[in-house]
Chains A and B, each alone.
Chain A
Amino acid sequence: MIGTGISVNSITARRRHPLARVAVLALALGLLGGGYALAAPNGSTADAAIASGKADDVAQGKSLFVAHCASCHGMNAEGTKKAPTLIGVGAAAVDFQVSSGRMPAADAGPQAPRKPRPEWATDVVINQLAAYVQSLGGGPTVPSAEQVDPAKGDPAKGGELFRANCIQCHNFVGAGGALTYGKYAPSLNPATPTEIYEAMVTGPQAMPVFNDSTITPEQKRDMIAYITHVRSQVDPGGSGLGRIGPVTEGLVAWIAGISLLVLASIWITAKKRRAA
């Protein structure tokens, strides 16, 4: 098996060790076995763990899970009354929820808001947690850097998909919008391309899943290209007023426009002709 406690550093330090040959042999066998496990049609949980991370990541992830997640999601991620099961949600869901700070949840509101990550939730730790959850029942994996590279997408095509699938909740530029019972579609502005992709494949909270047969990975990349292009675009018409449409425009017309003109009319009529 790959990575049976033998890291690259220890190999470097001990390659002249008498047991080095045994270690190399074990590594080769591990690679072979791992390759077979990847190619093998029956996906056992152990195989899934291999697909997304190393077995020691899984072990590490389990202890992290027990420390930070199990109080709500159950000791074996089987779910409790407070929180759903995580078996089968995949590494992508873990990466999305923890990297955006939504998990661990702060309180039991209608929806977990985006917030700064806890200090312990480094990228490495998230990978380990994700590997553990992935090992439980598979599910969508974290996309590669290439899959979410906005430069490789077509924003015009993505825009059409975005308008057809996303804006009814997230607003036309992804500024977010209200849903029922205190839920909401969050703003897409702080989301990384990876998080946007993961949200589409996992359907967090109130969001539906847009799997790869509904929207292909290339189309997802196009959408990411559109979202990141539009949100980074400098508003050509001046201040964007929050980009939420006519509500702020109306407020500005009354609060800035009418107030200024009323002040002007007061000023003009207050000017009297000096007595001759």
Chain B
Amino acid sequence: MNAPPKAIAGVSTFVDDRIGAGNFLKRNLRKIFPDHWSFLLGEIALYSFVILLLTGTFLTFWFKPSMSEVPYTGSYAPLYGVHMSEAYASALHISFDVRGGLLMRQIHHWAALLFVAGMTVHMLRIFFTGAYRKPRELNWIIGILLLSLALIEGLTGYSLPDDLLSGAGLRITQGVAQSIPIVGTYVSFFLFGGEYPGHDIIPRFYTLHILLIPGILLALISAHMILMWVQKHTQMPGKNRTEKNVVGAPFYPAFMIKSGAFFLFTFGVIALLGAFAQINPIWLFGPYTPADISAGSQPDWYMGFLEGALRLMPAWEINFLGHTVTLSVLIPALVPLGIVMTGLALYPFLEQWVTGDRREHHVCDRPRNNPHRTSIGIAGITFYGILWLLGANDEISANFHIDLYTTTWFGRIAVFVGPAIAYWITYRMCIGLQRKDAEVLSHGVESGVIKRMPNGQYIEVHTPPAEDIAEHIRGKKEIPVLTSAEDGEGIPPKGARSALGRLRAKMSEAYGTDRVPLTDGHHEEAHEEEHAGVGGGDRKELH
């Protein structure tokens, strides 16, 4: 009926006969994508990456990754005649003497901040809804690799303009390299091609920043997307949503339009930031010389937690067989990063080990329905957040007039106590929310209608919840628990005999036991009579 015009039909047949894309598109264009706002968070990172590639390419046209010394002769007067590296001079040239250069630099930098921030919120969404569970563990690992690579990509990019601030970051990088026991000095000389800072590091970082890491990022992002496509997207629990279907809108046209609009939103926000909010004003920092350092030297936000760890660490140093081991650098550089990244990478497997859950999961958990996972996540966020906050402790001290050492000591204690408190509070909140769910299912929701009983008592009439809300709540799925019960002859099951096995069984019981079953809304007998809905007519069951 709707035959395509001849011009289009001819070309498309030509292409189809040779590539065979028609069949692929036919199968895939109607692919169903579920609708939930949090499913778009990963796209912030994806679209920021596209913007990073485009603006980054623009910047390479003028940037000179060289540490040869030149006098500055550009149009920024307060630096005129100052000797600096060619890298810094060319970055100034882009900022002041290339049309649109400063805007591109600022868009590139804002996109970088939003790239990592988008990855972070996306990762948190996956974590808290349990979307990393079988069969998506590999895609989760790819995501963690992407996040780690993004940090390195950010670090190398931050160093490239060779301004005073980026030099401070470079110096810390070298300090971390040197703090590695035994091989530290060699690593530092290898990385910098000799004594710090030398002339090699900027060209080397440039190659890593514009070629190697973006290449790997691109490959991993493609793999991430293909796996997501093949495995289908997870969906939130709801009406008619099962482990065997996907309820949503087809990729073409609905999802494609939404996704395209979201790209424009992302681009718009980044362009607005790039146009109206100044970022990384390298001309104010001045050229890098190893002798200078500024107050308020900070890394970009995603390195802030490492900066905080370094600032909190007491000055511990030990001497082992003639080797100095600088724990005050080694521990903050490796331990928090290790806890966060390794913990994230292993979590799906640890959870599987604890619950013994080998099922496939395509329906997301609501965070409240797995209270221990949610609490572990919030404890992790608190740990990260306190380190991150303390990475800015000098600015906090200067702007809020708090003694600097008070902030340090607060951080040293809070980094251990804070996660524990956060865990407990979150756990209680999850249980509370589950109780609320159970109550909504069994008692209904408040209708706003106050009824006077014949005996003079006032009650508020409750109505049954809307169907979609009720189905959303009923989507709660039990978490499997490993049994450690002894059999008839007093022998525990095979896996639960060793100390580790007993621990596992205990953890499994704590992790999986449903403390508030959905049928548990009747805990307050006194409210029994509130059940009937507004339309329930006369309340014959009145006593």
Within 8 Å of chain B (Cβ to Cβ): is A159? yes
Within 8 Å of chain B (Cβ to Cβ): is A121? no
Within 8 A of A (CB), among B433-477: none
Within 8 A of B (CB), among A226-276: 226, 229-230, 233, 235-241, 243-247, 249-250, 252-254, 256-258, 260-262, 264-266, 268-271, 273
Question: A237 to chain B: which residues have CB within 8 Å?
Answer: 102, 106, 277-279, 281
Q: Give Cα A110 to B406, complex, Å.
A: 14
B295 and A257 contacting across the interface, CB-CB below 8 Å: no
A246 and B37 contacting across the interface, CB-CB below 8 Å: no
A249 and B279 contacting across the interface, CB-CB below 8 Å: yes
Supposing A253-B110, A261-B269 touch, asked if A246 and B298 sit within 8 A by C-beta, the answer is yes
Supposing A182-B401, A258-B114, A269-B40 touch, asked if A239 and B82 sit within 8 A by C-beta, the answer is no
Supposing A164-B292, A178-B295 touch, asked if A254 and B301 sit within 8 A by C-beta, the answer is yes
Within 8 Å of chain A (Cβ to Cβ): is B265? yes
Question: B109 to chain A: which residues have CB within 8 Å?
Answer: 249
- Smallest distance from the beta carbon of B170 to chain A beta carbons, Å? 15
A156 and B278 contacting across the interface, CB-CB below 8 Å: no
Residue of A nearest to B95 (CB): A236
Supposing A159-B78, A239-B276 touch, asked if A257 and B40 sit within 8 A by C-beta, the answer is no
Tell me the total A-B contact number using a CB cutoff of 8 A.
199
Within 8 Å of chain B (Cβ to Cβ): is A61? no
Supposing A163-B286, A230-B284, A254-B301 touch, asked if A178 and B398 sit within 8 A by C-beta, the answer is yes
Question: A260 to chain B: which residues have CB within 8 Å?
Answer: 265, 269
Which among A169, A243, A265 has the greatest number of chain B C-beta atoms within 10 A?
A265
B281 and A168 contacting across the interface, CB-CB below 8 Å: no
Question: B39 to chain A: which residues have CB within 8 Å?
Answer: 269
Question: B118 to chain A: which residues have CB within 8 Å?
Answer: 258, 261
A168 and B293 contacting across the interface, CB-CB below 8 Å: yes
Q: How many residues of A contact B (CB 8 A)?
A: 59
Supposing A159-B82, A173-B284, A247-B395 touch, asked if A256 and B273 sit within 8 A by C-beta, the answer is yes
B276 and A238 contacting across the interface, CB-CB below 8 Å: yes
B80 and A171 contacting across the interface, CB-CB below 8 Å: no
A167 and B294 contacting across the interface, CB-CB below 8 Å: yes
Within 8 Å of chain A (Cβ to Cβ): is B499? no
Q: Give Cα A168 to B289, complex, Å.
A: 13
Contact flags B35-46 to A (C-beta < 8 A → 1, else 0)? 111111101100
A246 and B301 contacting across the interface, CB-CB below 8 Å: yes
Within 8 Å of chain B (Cβ to Cβ): is A193? no
Which among A226, A241, A264 has the greatest number of chain B C-beta atoms within 10 A?
A264
Which among B118, B265, B266, B278 has the greatest number of chain A C-beta atoms within 10 A?
B278
Which among B95, B393, B398 has the greatest number of chain A C-beta atoms within 10 A?
B398
Q: Give Cα A238 to B262, complex, Å.
A: 25
Question: B95 to chain A: which residues have CB within 8 Å?
Answer: 236
Question: B70 to chain A: which residues have CB within 8 Å?
Answer: none
Residue of B nearest to A259 (CB): B269
A249 and B113 contacting across the interface, CB-CB below 8 Å: yes
A172 and B82 contacting across the interface, CB-CB below 8 Å: no
Within 8 Å of chain B (Cβ to Cβ): is A20? no
Instruction: Show 19 A/B contacts (Cβ-Cβ < 8 Å), sorted by A.
Output: A156-B77, A163-B286, A163-B294, A171-B294, A172-B164, A177-B295, A177-B398, A235-B281, A238-B278, A239-B276, A240-B281, A245-B296, A246-B280, A249-B279, A250-B301, A250-B304, A254-B301, A256-B273, A261-B118
The chain B residues found within 8 Å of chain A, CB to CB, are 35-41, 43-44, 77-82, 95-96, 102, 106, 109-110, 113-114, 117-118, 121, 164-165, 249, 254, 258, 261-262, 265-266, 269-270, 273, 275-281, 284-286, 289, 291-301, 304, 392-395, 397-398, 401, 403-405
The chain A residues found within 8 Å of chain B, CB to CB, are 110, 155-156, 159-160, 163-164, 167-173, 175-182, 184-185, 226, 229-230, 233, 235-241, 243-247, 249-250, 252-254, 256-258, 260-262, 264-266, 268-271, 273
